[in-house]
C-alpha cells in the first residue's frame, strides 16, 4: 500500500508521498562501500556476516592468528632489510637502462589518425580521434632472446589534460596488445607471440593491466587513474611472453595496440616501446609510478611517508621475506578452503545525524524534491519518544503495542497458511483497496493475543490448530457449497492443495525417504537434463547424493533464469518479485509430475519396499499400510478392494514381462523372482502418491 505513494499521494489510503520517502530514509543510512568493478560499473558492497560451524570457527581463529603474526613480520623493517633495500633501490633506479628502445620503421593508425615518431623514439598521435582505433608499429631489433615488451605511456602538451590518453580527461583504455615476429634476413611466415603475464606500475581500479592478456570479454581494458592528482603522467606496462623469442640476425616486430572498449574514442596519445633480454623484466614496474621519483631523493631528504611507502614495496618483493610471504599465502589459501558460508547483512552506517533522503518528484529518481528525515506515516502511531530514529527504532515501532498494523498482518498470514485463505483474503494488501476482513473482531482479538503472547508464533499456531473451528470436518454438503463455496464463513474445516515445496515433502515422508536434516547448503534434487543450458552462467546442476537428495523442498536451489520445474508446476513463484500470496491452480501437468517425475517415482519405489518389508505377507494388510502412510487414514473396503484389484493386475503383467519388472524395481539386491510383486506394489504406491487427497490439506 505504501509503495503506491512513491509517485503521488495515495488516492485511497492516508499515505502521502512524503510518508513514503520518510519511511525510505530509514534505509538510507545503510553501511556500504563503493567499489569500481571495471567497464565503467560502480557497485555498492554491503558487509558480510560469517556463519562458520564450531569446527570452522576454531580453525578460522588459528589461521587468522597465524596470518596476523606473519603480516607483522612483513610489516617490520629491520637493519638487515635496510641494507638490502639500499642495494635494491639502486637496481630499481637503473632498471630502465636494461631496456632497448625500439626505433619504429613504420607507424600507422587503422582509424586514420596521424602518428609521428619523435626524437626520443616515442610516438605522438594527433589529428582524427576515431572510435576503437588500432595502432600498428613495425620495428627491427637485434636484441635476443627477448624476454619482455615494455609499453611506456607519456605526457604531452598537445594532449587533453596533458595526456597520456586522448579522451577528455587525458586517459586511455587499451584493450589488447598483439605481437608478430619474423626473421629480418629472410622471408618467413610471421609468428604470433602469446603473452602469459602483464604488469604495470599503475592501473585504474577495475581496469587492471592483466586485462591485456586475459581471454575475457571485449569490455575489459587497461587504464590509468587520472584522478590521483599526483603530478606525473608517465606510466609503463610490461608484457611477458610465454617463452622468449628472437632471431640471431635480427627480428622484425609488428605490434598492434587495440582500443576496443565500448567503441569509444579513448586512445593512447603518446607512447614508446622497448624490449629487454634480462631474466626478470618485472623489475622496471615493481615500484609504483607515484613512488618512482622518490628513488632519486636522498634518504635523509625523504618524508616519513615516502620512507614507509618505499620500504613497504621493498618488503613485498625482497627474497629475504619470500619464505614468510609463501607461508602467509599458504595460510590464506587454507582459510579460503574452509568454505565458511557468508550472508549479506544490512549494517547501520556511522552517521551523526538523523537519516534523510529527498522526495523524488513524480517518483523520478533524477528529480530531487524536498529533503525529508526518517519518520513513520502520520496516520499511524508516532515513533516512541525513547527510541532513536534509525532502523532499530523502526523495528521497535513495528512491534509496539500502539501499532495496530504489524500484529494484524502477521496473524492474518498465519490464518492463511492454516486455512488456505486469510481473514483478509488480500494478505498482500490490508489497505482500503484490499478485501475487508470477513471476521474483523476475530482478527483484532488474534492480533492482541499475539502481542500478549510475546509475539510467539508457536503459541499462536497452537492456539489456532487446537480451536474447534480448525478441527471441524472439511466435508462439504451441497447446501454448504451453494451458500459458501469458498468457506469464508468457516462453517467447515480447511481443505486446499498444499504448496509446491510441501508436495515433495509429503511424498518423501510417506515413502520414508525424507531427511530430517536442518540447514546446510542448497539441495539439488533430480531434474530433467538440459534445463540449465542457459547463458550468463557456467554453473552446472549436479544432483545431490545420499541423504542430502531427500531433504525438505524448501532447501531446493533456486535460479531465477531456470526455476526448478516441479516447484513451478505447483505454483511456486520465480523469486523475481516478492510474492506474499501464492495463487493455486489445478492442471494436468501437476498430475503428470507426481505420476512420472523420476524424483516422485523414486519415492514410489521406496514406499513399495516399506509396504513389503513392514506390513507382513498379507496383501490386504499391505494395501491398508500403504494407504495409511500416504493418506493418513484407513481405506474404506471399496478403496482397499480397488487397490488390490489393481495390484493383482500389475502382478500378472510383470510376471509375463520380467524385464519391465526389473526396470521398475531398479534393484540389484534380492532374487529376481520377487521383482514382479515388488514392481506391482511400486505401481500401487505410484497411484497412492498421485491421489489428490495425498497432497490436499483437509
Q: Is residue 246 a contact partner of residue 143, using CB atoms and an 8 Å limit? A: yes
Q: What is the 3-state secondary structure (H, E, C) of 402-467?
A: CCCCHHHHHHHHHHHHHHCCCCCCCCCCCCCCCCCCCCHHHHHHHHHHHHHCCCCHHHHHHHHHCC
Q: Cβ atoms within 10 A of the Cβ of 140, count?
A: 13
The ranges of the chain with pLDDT < 50 are 38-40, 231
Assign 677 to helix, strand or coil. helix
pLDDT of residue 39: 45
- Pick from 173, 146, 345: which is nearest to 250 by CA? 146
pLDDT of residue 227: 67
The 8-class DSSP code of residue 231 comes to S
pLDDT of residue 684: 96
- Pick from 220, 213, 237, 230: which is nearest to 285 by CA? 237
pLDDT of residue 29: 80
Q: Cα 671 to the chain's mean position, in Å?
A: 49
pTM attached to this predicted model: 0.66
Backbone angles phi, psi at 129, to 5 degrees: -120, 80
- Pick from 174, 192, 190: which is nearest to 182 by CA? 190
| Residue 557, Ramachandran bin (φ over 0: left; ψ between -120 and 50: alpha; else beta) | beta
Assign 107 to helix, strand or coil. strand
Measure the CA–CA gap between 382 and 387, rounded to whole angstroms.
11
Element (H, E) at 196: strand 195-200
**Pairing mode, if any, of strands 251-258 and 134-141?**
antiparallel
The 8-class DSSP code of residue 301 comes to G
Amino acid at each position: 500500500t505504501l509503495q503506491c505513494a512513491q509517485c503521488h499521494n495515495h488516492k485511497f489510503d492516508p499515505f502521502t508521498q512524503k510518508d513514503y520517502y520518510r519511511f525510505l530514509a530509514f534505509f538510507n543510512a545503510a553501511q556500504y562501500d563503493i567499489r569500481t568493478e571495471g567497464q565503467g560499473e560502480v557497485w555498492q558492497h554491503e558487509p558480510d556476516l560469517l556463519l562458520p560451524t564450531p569446527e570452522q570457527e576454531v580453525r578460522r581463529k588459528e589461521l587468522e592468528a597465524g596470518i596476523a603474526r606473519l603480516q607483522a613480520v612483513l610489516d617490520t623493517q629491520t637493519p638487515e632489510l635496510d641494507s638490502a633495500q639500499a642495494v635494491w633501490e639502486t637496481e630499481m633506479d637503473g632498471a630502465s637502462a636494461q631496456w632497448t628502445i625500439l626505433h619504429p620503421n613504420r607507424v600507422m593508425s587503422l582509424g586514420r589518425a596521424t602518428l609521428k615518431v619523435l626524437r626520443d623514439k616515442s610516438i605522438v598521435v594527433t589529428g582524427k580521434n576515431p572510435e576503437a582505433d588500432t595502432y600498428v608499429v613495425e620495428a627491427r631489433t637485434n636484441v635476443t632472446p627477448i624476454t619482455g615488451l615494455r609499453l611506456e605511456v607519456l605526457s604531452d602538451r598537445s594532449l587533453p589534460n596533458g595526456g597520456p590518453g586522448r579522451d577528455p580527461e587525458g586517459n586511455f583504455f587499451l584493450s589488447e596488445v598483439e605481437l608478430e615476429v619474423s626473421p629480418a634476413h629472410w622471408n618467413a611466415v610471421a609468428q604470433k607471440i602469446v603473452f602469459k603475464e602483464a604488469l604495470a606500475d599503475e592501473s585504474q581500479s577495475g581496469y587492471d593491466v592483466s586485462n591485456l592478456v586475459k581471454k575475457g570479454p571485449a569490455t575489459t581494458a587497461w587504464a590509468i587513474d587520472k584522478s590521483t592528482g599526483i603530478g606525473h603522467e608517465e606510466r609503463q606496462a610490461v608484457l611477458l611472453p610465454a617463452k622468449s623469442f628472437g632471431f640471431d640476425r635480427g627480428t622484425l616486430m609488428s605490434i598492434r595496440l587495440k582500443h576496443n572498449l565500448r567503441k569509444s574514442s579513448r586512445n593512447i596519445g603518446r607512447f614508446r616501446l622497448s624490449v629487454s633480454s634480462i631474466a626478470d623484466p618485472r623489475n622496471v614496474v615493481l615500484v609504483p609510478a607515484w613512488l618512482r621519483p622518490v628513488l632519486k631523493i636522498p634518504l635523509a631528504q625523504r618524508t616519513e611517508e615516502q620512507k614507509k611507502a618505499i620500504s613497504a614495496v621493498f618488503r613485498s618483493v625482497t627474497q629475504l621475506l619470500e619464505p614468510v610471504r609463501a607461508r602467509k599465502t599458504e595460510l590464506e589459501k587454507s582459510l579460503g578452503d574452509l568454505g565458511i558460508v557468508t550472508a549479506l547483512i544490512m549494517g547501520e552506517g556511522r552517521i551523526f545525524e538523523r537519516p534523510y533522503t529527498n522526495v523524488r518528484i513524480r517518483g523520478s529518481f533524477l528529480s530531487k524534491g524536498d529533503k525529508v528525515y526518517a519518520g513513520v506515516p502520520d496516520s499511524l502511531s508516532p515513533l516512541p519518544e525513547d527510541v532513536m530514529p534509525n532502523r532499530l527504532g523502526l523495528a521497535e515501532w513495528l512491534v509496539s503495542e500502539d501499532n495496530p498494523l504489524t500484529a494484524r498482518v502477521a496473524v492474518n498470514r498465519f490464518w492463511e497458511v492454516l486455512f488456505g485463505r486469510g481473514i483478509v483474503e488480500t494478505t498482500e494488501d490490508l489497505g482500503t483497496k484490499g478485501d475487508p476482513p470477513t471476521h474483523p473482531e476475530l482478527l483484532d482479538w488474534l492480533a492482541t493475543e499475539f502481542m500478549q503472547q510475546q509475539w510467539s508464533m508457536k503459541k499462536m499456531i497452537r492456539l489456532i490448530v487446537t480451536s474447534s473451528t480448525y478441527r471441524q470436518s472439511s466435508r462439504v454438503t451441497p447446501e454448504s457449497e451453494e451458500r459458501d463455496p469458498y468457506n469464508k464463513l468457516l462453517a467447515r474445516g480447511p481443505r486446499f492443495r498444499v504448496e509446491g515445496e510441501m508436495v515433495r515433502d509429503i511424498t518423501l515422508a510417506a515413502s520414508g525417504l525424507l531427511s530430517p536434516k536442518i540447514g546446510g547448503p542448497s539441495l539439488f534434487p533430480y531434474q530433467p537434463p538440459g534445463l540449465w543450458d542457459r547463458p550468463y552462467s557456467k554453473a552446472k546442476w549436479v544432483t545431490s547424493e545420499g541423504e542430502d537428495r531427500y531433504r525438505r523442498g524448501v532447501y531446493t536451489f533456486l535460479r531465477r533464469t531456470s526455476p526448478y520445474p516441479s516447484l513451478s508446476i505447483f505454483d511456486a513463484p520465480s523469486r523475481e518479485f516478492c510474492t506474499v500470496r501464492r495463487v493455486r491452480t489445478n492442471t494436468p501437468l501437476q498430475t503428470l509430475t507426481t505420476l512420472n517425475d523420476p524424483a516422485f517415482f523414486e519415492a514410489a519405489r521406496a514406499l513399495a519396499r516399506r509396504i513389503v518389508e513392514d506390513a507382513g505377507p498379507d496383501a490386504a494388510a499391505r494395501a491398508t499400510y500403504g494407504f495409511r502412510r500416504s493418506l493418513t487414514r484407513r481405506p474404506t473396503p471399496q478403496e482397499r478392494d480397488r487397490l488390490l484389484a489393481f495390484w493383482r493386475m500389475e502382478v500378472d503383467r510383470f510376471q509375463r514381462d520380467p524385464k519391465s519388472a526389473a526396470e521398475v524395481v531398479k534393484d540389484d539386491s534380492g532374487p529376481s523372482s520377487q521383482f514382479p510383486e515388488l514392481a506391482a506394489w511400486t505401481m500401487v504406491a505410484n497411484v497412492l502418491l498421485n491421489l489428490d487427497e495425498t497432497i490436499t490439506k483437509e
